[in-house]
Amino acid sequence: MMQSLAERLAVAHEPFFQGPEAVRRARAQAWDNVRKHGLPTRRVEDWKYTPLAVLDREPYAPISNPRKSNDPLPEIGSVDGCCAVFVDGVFTPGLSRLDDITPGVSIRGLGNAGRRSADALLCRAFEGTYSRPEDSLAALNTAGAGGGVLIELADSVRQDKPLRLLYLGEDREQFSALHLRNLVRLGRDSYLNLVEEFRPSSARGRFCNVVTRVILEAEASLDHVRISLAGASDVLVNRLEVSQGSDSCFRQMALDNGAGLARHDIHVNLHEQDAQCRLQGLYLQSRKSHVDNHIRVVHQVGPTRSQVVYRGVLGQHAHGVFNAKAVVETGADGSRAEQSNKNILLSRHAAVDTKPELEIYAEDVMCTHGATVGQLDDAALFYLRSRGITLQRSRSMLLEAFCKEMLNQDRKPPLNEELSARVGAALLSLDHLETP
């Protein structure tokens, strides 16, 4: 019988570097948690809709031969602005373009970080015990992470030009598994425009397990765009933990298209007054793909504000999951929390499980939530077709209106145009598979 993924990684575990003493202790504790709990099963409430059996069906294994400087370079294509390239999780300066980085912005690969015990930023990246069964993939990341990035902005620094983190994979013959650990810290009154893009791997498939910690000091702002274009045989598990100080602002736009299985856990803590976050997402899936967005926003004090708006278009046998919970703790009076999830199913075989939740322990709050699941409006299609518009074009117009409303117009034109083009191409491909 094939060993489970957790067993195989426990036996073969050898991250690219061990790090300082605090990191080594965190790794050892994490391995204990992985061995104790294994991978989450459907008996774990937070994972009841997302089976991980695919990880046991294929022989995923750690990458034993990380990229060397004389290896052939992967194809990047046209990328504008500042770009940090990671091949199999390893920061690759030879492919990166960081000439336009603003003074006061520090960026370094995890494996290139100092291994001294005094490297506080590296140690902060590995904080978190992850002792619960539902957190065992994050524990697996802690134990095995050998790639990723550390980004830090000094106080009052603005990086207005998008900084793109581009994740590529070598064309390997094996089913590979890698764990990336990222930390982004913004000093007081600083601003960063960050774009993360996950490109498809080789046909053999890749299991990519990412944990990103974001720390926003008072009055800091982060605009974050995540573009996940993983391949149909790829598994992407992504955990984002955000800690926000007073008057800080976190805005995220997430686009999912293509991964065989994608799971995104987002945990936001608004722990000081007037902190606010806005989370937006689009998932455009077909075939037998599965995408799961699990979001938890905690209002620890008031007034604070959160807004979570996600939309999905699912075709063929695709399955979507949306579970967002806003927790307004005692004393967080005056807080506002909004949640919305709307979905369009293009096939009778497609499905979505949606569950927005509110948990309120404070007074004088304004909290709303709602969800819808439906199909394209027949009356709207008839109206467009009666004006001489083809069925294909009519469907495309309605889908574009449904999705592109999510694209913020306050983003700078190049990035907004890129997102609009990617959404349009994804919808065209998706609807082409479903049009009678």
Q: What is the pLDDT of residue 80?
A: 67
Q: What share of the chain is helix, strand, coil (3-state, %, to 5)?
A: 20, 40, 40
Q: What is the pLDDT of residue 201?
A: 67
The pLDDT tens digits for 247-286 are: 999 999 999 987 889 999 999 999 999 999 999 999 999 8
Q: What is the DSSP letter of 304?
A: -
Counting as low any pLDDT under 70, the low residues of the chain are 1-18, 63-80, 111-118, 171-173, 201-203, 408-413, 431-436
CA nearest to 160, candidates 188, 195, 110, 184: 195
The amino acid sitting at 389 is I
Quote the longest CA-to-CA distance of the chain: 71
The residues spanned by each domain of the chain are 5-272, 377-436
Q: What is the pLDDT of residue 79?
A: 65
The pLDDT tens digits for 322-359 are: 999 999 999 999 999 999 999 999 999 999 999 999 99
**CA trace torsion 117, 105, 195, 405 (10° rounding):** 130
Q: What is the pLDDT of residue 175?
A: 75
Phi, psi of 107 (to 5 degrees): -140, 130
SS3 352: strand
Q: What is the pLDDT of residue 47?
A: 92
The CA–CA distances, whole Å, from 336 to 135, 155, 309, 370 equal 28, 28, 14, 15
Q: What is the pLDDT of residue 117?
A: 44
Q: What is the pLDDT of residue 1?
A: 38
SS3 414: helix
Q: What is the pLDDT of residue 276?
A: 97
The CA–CA distances, whole Å, from 74 to 86, 102, 192, 274 equal 10, 27, 27, 44
Residues facing residue 215 across a β-bridge: 185, 243
